[in-house]
Structures are given as C-alpha cells and as structure tokens.
Amino acid sequence: MSDRLDWNDLRERRMAEPGAAETYEATRIAFELGQEVRHLREGHGWSQSQLARAAGMTQSAVARFEAGGTVPTLPVLERLARALDRRLDVRFASNADAA
Amino acid sequence: MSDRLDWNDLRERRMAEPGAAETYEATRIAFELGQEVRHLREGHGWSQSQLARAAGMTQSAVARFEAGGTVPTLPVLERLARALDRRLDVRFASNADAA
DNA sequence: CCAACCCATAGCATCGGTGCTATGGGTTGG
DNA sequence: CCAACCCATAGCACCGATGCTATGGGTTGG
C-alpha cells in the first residue's frame, strides 16, 4: 500500500532534516511536476516505459520521478517536456502573481 | 575580458559533447536564469556577497551561477527566489504559449 | 599608496540525482 | 495456468552541482 504515497508523507520525510525549510518548497514543486507528468503521460496513453524511451531514460527513472522520489534536474525536466510535446518553463515570478 | 561571457560561448562549449541536444536547452535556461538573477540582484542594490548570505550560499556560488557555469538545481533556485522576494515557477507549458 | 570593497575563478570534498540492472507484485488475456 | 504487460523499488556506479576556502585582478575612496 505504500503505492501512491501522498504529499504529506514526503513532507514529513523532508522536513525532518535540518535547514530543510527551503528545500521543502523544491520538494513540493518536484512532487507537483511528477503528478503533472503522470497526467500528461496518461493523456498520451503511454506507459512509463514508452515515455522513458521517448525521453531517453529508463522506466525506473520515470517511476522514481513520478513518485516524487527525487528532486529532478533541469536537463531531465527538459527531456520529459520534449517527449510530452511541452515546453519547460522556469522563471522567477512576482510574488503577487496567481499560482 | 573573459569577464561577462556571452551565450554563444556557452553554446559552443556544451554542444561539443555527445547527446547534448537536450541538455542544450537546459543550459540555455540556466543562462537566462543567471541573467535574471543578476538583474534582480542589481535591482535590489545588492552585491553577490549580500545575495549569497540572504540565500544561504557563498559569493562564489552566486558568481558561478550568474555566469552560467552550472545548471542549477531546484533547491538552489528556490532559495534564490526567496532571497529576491520572488516565487519560483516551474511548469510544462503548452508549446503554443508565448515565451 | 593602501585599504576595502567588487567580482571571477580554481581546487577540493561531499551529496544527491541519474542511469542501469534486476526484482517483485499486480493485472489482464490467452 | 501462464505469458505479457503494467508499475514500484532496491542496489550500485557515475557524474555533476553545491559548499567551501583561497586566490587574483579591478575599482573606488581614504
């Protein structure tokens, strides 16, 4: 049942470490990106293996990422975006901007 | 005068490696983020040392990042965003969206 | 001329993400 | 019942980003 772990699990896990108050946000972003990739992938009707091949990675890497197991790097995000026919968008938004 | 190195320098450097066609984009993003941080920092009237302290890193790390010397990780971007009173925004945008 | 900043860069240790292989449990379809 | 998928996870090697200290050159102000 530790299948789809949810956000609170990850939060507890990461917040236990020292100086994690900032990494916390990065972990949240990673988690959300994982969710989004899963949705996009399923929208394409692809398996993790198929996405992995399209993005130049392995099924295990896709699974790890979708589960929020790691905070992904920009190159990986870029490759996933390409495979899913998206554009990776990273920017410093004004704090007033809507989510 | 290898002071402010420009984008073409970095491009040549990175594209020389194999399988760099995707990492290329990530490098471009890193470069642009570096520029933006520099602008934001200067907008605040801060030195690299001041920003470094606010973001929990060292002056050398800030310099390296602003120069595009590395592709930054999400935790680092998050800390910089906070220090600069911004919100880090990462998403998979539709390819049709404007830049 | 010297002190105090600015920034760029080098060298090194460490940490963590990625790539890889292999496994295991679940489900479906023959 | 078995084959062929699905996905999650572990263990490992490797690479690269980060953190750190220490420079060095440039500029400014005394």
* pLDDT, tens digit, 9 for 90 and up, residues B6-44: 555 555 555 544 445 556 788 899 999 999 999 999 999
Comparing A6-15, A37-46, B64-73, the range with the smallest average pLDDT is A6-15
Domains and CATH numbers, chain B: 7-98 (1.10.260.40)
**The complex's ipTM?**
0.81
Binary contact (A94, B73; C-beta < 8 A): no
pTM of the model: 0.81
In terms of CA atoms, which chain A residue is nearest residue B33? Answer: A91
Tokens 């983020």 map to which residue? Answer: B33
> From the CA of B49, how many Å to the C1' of D10?
42
Contact B10, B27 (CB under 8 A): yes
User: How far, rounded to the nearest angstrom, does the alpha carbon of residue A72 sit from its chain's CA centroid?
Assistant: 7
Looking at chain A, the whole-number percentage of residues with pLDDT higher than 70 is 74
Looking at every residue in chain A, the average pLDDT score rounds to 81
Q: What are the residues whose beta carbons fall under 8 Å from the beta carbon of A37, sequence distance 6 or more?
A: A51, A62, A65, A66, A80, A84, B92
CA pseudo-torsion sign A6, A8, A9, A10 = positive
User: Which residues in chain B are contacts of A82 at CB distance < 8 A?
Assistant: 22, 25
Show which residues on chain A lie within 8 Å of chain B, measured between beta carbons: 19, 22-23, 25-26, 29-30, 33, 36-37, 40, 56, 71-75, 77-82, 84-95, 97
Contact B66, B34 (CB under 8 A): yes
What is the C-alpha separation between B6 and B10, in angstroms, rounded? 7
Residue to mutate among B14, B15, B17, B22, with most A CBs inside 10 A, is B22
